[in-house]
Structure formats: structure tokens, C-alpha cells
Amino acid sequence: MATLRLGDTAPDFTAVTSEGTLNFYEYLGDSWGILFSHPADFTPVCTTELGTAAKFKDEFDKRNVKMMALSVDGAASHMEWIKDINETQNTKVNFPIVADVERKVSDLYDMIHPNADDTLTVRSVFIVGPDKKIKLTLTYPASTGRNFYELLRVVDSLQLTANHKVATPANWKNGEKVVVSPSIPTEEAKGIFTKGVEEIKPYLRLTPDPTI
């Protein structure tokens, strides 16, 4: 299995999940997708992550993003664990969790890093565009829970920059100024970004978010 890189096609798969057998591409349809792995069921950090993901579902829905989680335990275990997540995180898990007992999806997506752990998946995140290309990968160790505000922020940036010739600066948040793509000369940028282009350096030009 080769490492998946940005721009690669996200491998399709059919897998047993907590919501029955699902095909990844059919599940995504024309939406964006987030596939994220968890080391194991009934573990504390994963419990908080899945509860948080469930609470963020409305925000992901608004952005047309479908979530799919994964761990290497079975569907019956997932169902029992979901009860605990719902109870302890005061939410309702509202997306499928792949039961990757045979590690097929984990292998396909290189989610097991043997020098970290031989059998359990690390905390991988793959954001997939409607074209099924990988737009972002993140890898966190088992001991560090992910920041779902950051995942939303990244989706906002990916969706904005997919449609406009801009990029988003450090710590950017939705609605803040963006940078003009380096490939556009400033005079041309002034014609495209009619709300104004602020030239700080010839290669560093700011413009208001073109979508608002």
C-alpha cells in the first residue's frame, strides 16, 4: 500500500459500519467527506472525539460534508460504545463508524503506523472533495485528541480556495481577509477582487473574503 498524498484519488471501499454495510463513494455522493480513524472502542479520548464530531454535524452539514469514522473493533462493539458516547457526551452519534476488524480500510489508507502501534490505528483524518480527490491529511498520535474547530476551519478554507483565486493566511477564520493567489498580478487582481486589493508587498496582497 502506497502512502496517500494530496491530490490522489481517495480509495473506494465497502465496509460494515455501525449503520450497516456502506460503500464509501455511494455514501459521499456529491458531498465532501471526512474519514477519520480512532485507535480503539471504549477509550477515553476517542469517546470525547466522537461525541464532539456528533455535536459538529450540523456545521459539517451546512458545508455539505459527510463524516465517517473508523476503528478496528467490530460493529457490535461499536453499537455498545455508541451508547456510552451518547450518554457521557450528551449527544447522539449521527454518522457511521466503520468496523474495520480485518484492517482493510486501515491498510488502504495507511492508518496503522507500526512504529507507533502494531495493531491500532493512529488518529488519521482525510478530507475528500466532491471529485473524490484527497484535499487534506492530518495524523495525530493516540494520545492527542483532534480539534474539530480546526477541521471546520480547514473545510472553510478548502471550499473557498477551490472556487476563488485566493489562499488563506495563518490562523485565518471564515470571514476574515484572504490573500490573493501569487499567480495573479496585482493589476489583474484589482479587476477580479472589486472589494479592494491591499498590496503590502508585490507578493503579499490582501482582499476581503470574496464570498461575503
- Closest to 139 measured CA to CA, from 24, 32, 36: 36
What minimum distance in Å lies between the beta carbon of 122 and ligand BEZ? 9
Give the Cα separation of 178 and 24 in Å (integer). Answer: 33
Give the Cα separation of 127 and 114 in Å (integer). Answer: 23
Q: Which is nearer to ligand BEZ, 50 or 178 (CB)?
A: 50
Q: Which is nearer to ligand BEZ, 39 or 129 (CB)?
A: 39
Q: Which is nearer to ligand BEZ, 100 or 156 (CB)?
A: 100
Q: Of residues 115-174, which lie at the interface with ligand BEZ (CB under 6 A)?
A: 142-143
Let me know if 13 is a catalytic residue.
no
- Closest to 122 measured CA to CA, from 11, 50, 37: 37
List 4, 15, 35, 46, catalytic entry: 46
Give the Cα separation of 156 and 78 in Å (integer). Answer: 30
Cα 144 to Cα 44, 56, 123, 125, 194: the distances in Å are: 11, 19, 8, 13, 43
Q: Which is nearer to ligand BEZ, 33 or 39 (CB)?
A: 39
Number of residues counted as binding ligand BEZ (CB under 6 A): 8
- Residue range at the interface with ligand BEZ (CB under 6 A); choices 26-34, 38-46, 102-110, 182-190: 38-46
For the annotated catalytic residues, the residue numbers are 46
Binding site for ligand BEZ (CB under 6 A): 39-40, 43-46, 142-143
